[in-house]
Amino acid sequence: MKRYYRIEYNGQPRYAVEESGEWRLVDGDIFGRHDAGAPIAASGYKVLAPVLPSKIVAIGLNYKDHAAERNKPLPKEPMIFIKPSTAVIGPDDPIVIPPGVGRVDHEAEAGVVIGWPARYVSEEEAHKYVFGITCVNDVTARELQAKDIQYTRAKGFDTFAPVGPCIATGLDWEAKDGLVVEGWVNGQRRQSSSTKELIFSIRELVAFVSSVMTLLPGDIISTGTPSGIGPIAVGDRVTIKVQGVGELTNPVGLAVRVGR
């Protein structure tokens, strides 16, 4: 298994690959031809969001227990919405709560990183388009979600899509027991489930979403959150864990409006 990190190296964003504890810079495009280059230290860098996706396609109500806690019927097909690229932040970057939005929740999710342009992909071929897995926090302004009915504003604020800390490749995301997905706030576990509990599998999601829109390299399908969602507040530290990927931690801050 390899983990691809995007780091700040000598003042520039660079990819590094970690395998069996050894870190090397990446020469080339991780979504094209690339090689493991010069060895580097395993720490001492600012870790950036592992990709800058053109879009995050998120899936609503994809765990039965989450649908139950939201008092929603199970969807008959994947319910999709888009989080904008401007919402993406990396590890340790603050989740900024805008003034007056009311309750804001964490949502721990496994994110599927697309590696090749995907359009009308079959379920049988879907694995060929999955580059790897990352952690996603689908931060949500819950009261606005209820008010607006649709999800764009509630889930689209700047900083409402923490992603990272890396892209893990070579994971068996179709294993019988799935990948464990957890959400933690201030060291207390609030969410814990596995991708084996997904209503629509990763294969089904890649096929469905690519039948609607072209998925580009670096785009993310965020596969849905299990039960246990809850509010976060200024001063909290939120951690998303996905088995085999690692931990994505972000502090929570408050937005300050600045005029031009």
pLDDT at 260 over 60: no
d(CA 114, CA 217): 5
Mean pLDDT of 80-108: 97
pTM comes to 0.96
Mean pLDDT of 220-248: 97
Average pLDDT of the residues of the chain: 96
For the chain, which residues make up each domain, given as ranges? Answer: 1-48, 51-254
pLDDT at 259 over 80: no
In the DSSP assignment, the letter for residue 197 is G
Model confidence at 227, in pLDDT bands (50, 70, 90)? Answer: very high
Q: What is the pLDDT of residue 114?
A: 98
**pLDDT tens per residue, range 97-107:** 999 999 999 99
d(CA 23, CA 94): 26
d(CA 133, CA 136): 10
Q: What is the pLDDT of residue 256?
A: 66
Superfamily in which the 51-254 domain is placed by CATH: Fumarylacetoacetase-like, C-terminal domain (3.90.850.10)
Model confidence at 65, in pLDDT bands (50, 70, 90)? Answer: confident
**Sequence-separated (6 or more) residues with CB below 8 Å from residue 162:** 49, 88, 89, 90, 91, 93, 95, 135, 136, 137, 139, 238, 240, 248, 250
**pLDDT tens per residue, range 143-199:** 999 999 899 999 999 999 999 999 999 999 999 999 999 999 999 999 999 999 999
Q: What is the pLDDT of residue 71?
A: 85
3-state secondary structure of 158: coil
d(CA 241, CA 190): 11
Mean pLDDT of 213-223: 98
Q: What is the pLDDT of residue 258?
A: 56
